[in-house]
Amino acid sequence: MPEPHSPSLGDATRGRILFGGDYNPEQWPEETWHDDVRLMRDAGVNSVTLGVFSWARLEPQPGVREFGWLDRLMDLMHGNGIGVVLATPTSSPPPWMGRLHPETLPRDEDGRTEWWGSRQHFSHSSAVYRRYAAAITEDLAVRYSGHPALRMWHINNEYCTYDWGDEAEDAFRGWLQAKYGTLDALNEAWGTAFWSQGYGDWYEVLPPRRAHYMKNPAQVLDFKRFTSDALLECYLAERDIVARHSPHIPVTTNFMAVWQGLDAWQWAAQEDVVSIDVYPDPRDPFGAQYGALVHDMTRSQAHGGPWMVMEQAAGPVNWRGVNHPKPAGLNRLWSLQAVARGADAVCYFQWRQSRQGSEKFHSGMVGHAGEHGRTFQEAKRLGAELALLGDKVADTRVEAPEIAVLLDWNAWWASAQDGRLSSEADCPEIVRAWHRALWEAHTVADFAHPEHDLSAYKLVVVPHLYLMTDAAIDNLLAYVHQGGTLVAGFQTGIADEDDRVREGGMDRRLRELFGIRTLHEWWPLDAGETVDAEGFHGTLWSEEIEAADDVDAVTPYKGGELDGLPAVLRKGRAWYVSTLPEPHALRTLLADIAAGAGVRPTLAGLPAGVEAVRRGGLLFLLHHGRDRVTVPVPGRHRDLLTGAEVIDTVELGRYGVAVLEVAA
């Protein structure tokens, strides 16, 4: 019997790096399609994503189908050797749906309806919406499953909606009944003895709608869990339809980068291909590090295998306050960075820049300036380079990182509640600060869920797991017990999975692990305020901790209320950092701890601003600065991008990239 085949990105890439993007030809007259194809071929585009927002075009009236235009496009793409990632159009229902079935429209926490006229105006819990979504998905799958252009299914787009409406209320209640079984269990988990919130009937239990004052945090936490699950049900319903018709075609849905709404660990487990939309700000001095973080997260969700940049911008976006273009070379640099960190697809929103609608000032691969514009010319160069790399890179893995950064959406959700001590302490920003320190120390890290098997890592970093399950705590203890090195930031393991503060203010076993006898008080800092510690300044937070007798080393706070108390504690291989050291101090601290754990930088002697990543036996060097630098690379190499021989050093100019293969 042949092994059952699970589809993967390899089925779509077929040994190449996918290059292309969202293509919205319904916005253009058909003559333009032929010009599009000419330019796609010119630029080496081998993949387009069709149909993301095509519902009104495909189903102009309830139950009516207009597939002719899409048939012509699928054939046109196939005839030109361009594969299609075909989207289900279910993120933007046609206006008739809201008019005929107003219950399909979501409501916000104030009970206000989100009307059509934009996008994503669907209630995840609406039975009517789900029925129409399933029907159009079924018909697309029947029609195109066997089409030779089809490479991948793309379900919906950036699932991200919340709904406090009536059907969502029923669904939330059902979700809670399944979770808790009895009202007593719910009352206990939500701590409803506080403020007279005890529920005597399931019909009293609501989504956390507008209230006079702070809402019950456990209720809000469960509502976030429920929302992620309700959206996942929508995804799974469509995924199962397309998978039934084309079991050999991989399925994905595109995540927003570092997005709070979906528990990406759970979601990624349900995808054949993990794909991401990533939009670093070209003006952000640490935009490259943000990109690296997103790439590392996405690769980790793909279990280290190849993943997909489904969307990025060739130039400016149009949804920031001020939207800056990408300087020459930056699009190439950040695209190759994604490839270095494991991407097998470099795709854009969108192919041709719109002339109408909300995104007419959002860049496209073909901008308003057309084929002679810098944006297209740069895209064309990139397409040629990706084609050069394809057969050496596609389907290979990033050299296994020795560091894992732990992240859990439950901890993020719980730490972002009303009623906390500091609204300055933002989980993703804290995670970013720790990741940045690792990135600047020239090490590559994975992300992991706190209950994952961590035994392959030499160092585990916990930036901000405010909430931890017992299983996660057991996992960390076992990891250290088996010889792993652990470093944790402030407020680790404060709450259990119901957001109940653990006895003593922090889990007892974790206190023992780190050598904390008593955690007396938390001392959050104001924005911009610092606290002195021996050898560095802390930011954001500090803690009044009494060290246990068996602690091995302490770096104390200096001056102020916490004078002499531990800022950093070490007991054996477990480190606890009760503040957020300023960037260079965190980098030094982490680099030292990593070195102690046997982790080495990817390459010795790298200049600041040069990133090095090894993938598939190749060494990617990415220069994020503008001045020329010399990078030591002992031995003889060949640069796959230029064909040049490299002996011992390589020169990189502004935003320069080299992809080095050891010379035979």
Binding site for ligand GLA (CB under 6 A): 157-158, 277, 279, 311, 317, 349, 359, 362
Catalytic residues: 158, 311
- The rounded distance, in Å, linking the Cα atoms of 240 and 236 is 6
- Contact between residue 393 and residue 615 where contact means Cβ atoms under 8 Å apart: yes
Pairing of strands 150-154, 251-252: parallel
**Least distance (Å) from ligand GLA to the CB of residue 158?**
5
Closer residue to ligand GLA (CB): 154 or 332: 154
**Least distance (Å) from ligand GLA to the CB of residue 450?**
29
**Least distance (Å) from ligand GLA to the CB of residue 625?**
26
Closer residue to ligand GLA (CB): 312 or 492: 312
**Least distance (Å) from ligand GLA to the CB of residue 319?**
6
- The rounded distance, in Å, linking the Cα atoms of 270 and 539 is 39
- The rounded distance, in Å, linking the Cα atoms of 547 and 569 is 8
- Contact between residue 293 and residue 444 where contact means Cβ atoms under 8 Å apart: no
- The rounded distance, in Å, linking the Cα atoms of 488 and 573 is 11
Closer residue to ligand GLA (CB): 67 or 259: 259
- Contact between residue 31 and residue 60 where contact means Cβ atoms under 8 Å apart: no
Residue nearest to ligand GLA (CB): 277
Closer residue to ligand GLA (CB): 92 or 137: 92
Give the count of beta carbons closer than 10 Å to the beta carbon of residue 418. Answer: 11
**Of 10, 85, 22, the residue nearest 311 (C-alpha):** 22
Which residues are paired to 644 by β-bridges? none
- Contact between residue 82 and residue 40 where contact means Cβ atoms under 8 Å apart: yes
Would you state the structure tokens that stand for residue 82, as one six-digit string? 């361009």
- The rounded distance, in Å, linking the Cα atoms of 49 and 152 is 9
**Least distance (Å) from ligand GLA to the CB of residue 556?**
47
3-state secondary structure of 87: strand
Would you give the distance in Å from CA 1 to the centre of its chain? 38
3-state secondary structure of 196: helix
**Least distance (Å) from ligand GLA to the CB of residue 428?**
18
**Least distance (Å) from ligand GLA to the CB of residue 312?**
9
H/E element holding 311? strand 307-311
**Least distance (Å) from ligand GLA to the CB of residue 20?**
15
3-state secondary structure of 124: coil
- The rounded distance, in Å, linking the Cα atoms of 431 and 258 is 10
**Least distance (Å) from ligand GLA to the CB of residue 220?**
26
Closer residue to ligand GLA (CB): 359 or 498: 359
**Least distance (Å) from ligand GLA to the CB of residue 138?**
24
Closer residue to ligand GLA (CB): 167 or 277: 277
Name residue, tokens 């992620």.
Answer: 228
Closer residue to ligand GLA (CB): 359 or 512: 359
Burial class (CB in 10 A: 0-12, 13-18, 19+), 12: buried
- Give the DSSP letter string of 82-122: -EEEEEP-TTS--HHHHHH-GGGS-B-TTS-B--SSSS---
Closer residue to ligand GLA (CB): 311 or 611: 311
Closer residue to ligand GLA (CB): 267 or 541: 267
CA contacts within 13 A on the Cβ side of 257: 22
Closer residue to ligand GLA (CB): 349 or 576: 349
Burial 509-538 (b: 16+ CB within 10 A, else e): ebbebbbbeebeebbbbeeeebbbbeebbb
Would you state the structure tokens that stand for residue 482, as one six-digit string? 């088996």
Burial 246-265 (b: 16+ CB within 10 A, else e): beebbbbbbbbbbeebbbbb
- Contact between residue 436 and residue 583 where contact means Cβ atoms under 8 Å apart: yes
